[in-house]
Amino acid sequence: MTPIILLAILSILVERKVDTYRLASRWVSCQKNKYPSKHLDPPAMTLLLDYHWPGNVRELRNPMEKLVVMIDGEVITPGDVCRILRIEDVPLEGVFRPLKEVREEFEREYILGLL
C-alpha cells in the first residue's frame, strides 16, 4: 500500500495542477512565521499552474521558498514568478499589460492632472 501513496505524492506536477495550487499556497502561508506574510496574486498563480514543471513537488518547493524570501512586498506578482522561474516568453494577454497601453494611460492621467 505504501508504494501507491508514494507514487501519488511523487508524480509529476504537470499531471496534478490541483496539487500544484494547494502546495504553492501552503508553502507561501507556512513561511509567515519566518518572513513577512505574503500571498500569490491570481495571475501569478496562473503562471505557476501553467508552468511545465520538469519534475515532482521538490521542483515547486524551491521556487516558492525563493519567492517568499526574495520578494519585498506582500503580493507575489507574475513578474516575480517570471524572475524566479526565469520565464522570458510569457504571453502578455491576461497577465501583463503592454507597455504602450500603460504609457498611454499614464500620459493621459498626467495631462489631465496638469489641466
pLDDT tens digit at each of 115 positions of the chain: 444 444 445 566 666 677 788 888 888 888 777 888 888 888 888 888 888 877 777 788 888 888 888 888 888 988 888 888 887 765 545 555 566 776 787 788 778 878 7
CA neighbor of 14 nearest in space, from 55, 64, 61, 63: 55
Residue 15 is predicted with a pLDDT of 67
- 55-64 residues labelled b (16+ CB within 10 A) or e (exposed): eebeebeebb
The confidence score (pLDDT) of residue 91 equals 54
pLDDT of residue 92: 47
Helices H, strands E: what count in the chain? Answer: 6, 2
pLDDT at residue 98 in the model = 64
Q: Which domains does the chain have, with CATH numbers?
A: 2-114 (1.10.8.60)
> Using CB atoms within 10 A of its CB, is residue 75 exposed (0-12), middle (13-18) or buried (19+)?
exposed
pLDDT at position 47: 84
> Which pLDDT score, from 0 to 100, does residue 31 have?
79
Overall pTM surpassing 0.75 (yes/no):
no
Give the CA dihedral 20, 90, 88, 75, nearest 10 degrees: -60
For residue 7, what pLDDT is reported? 45
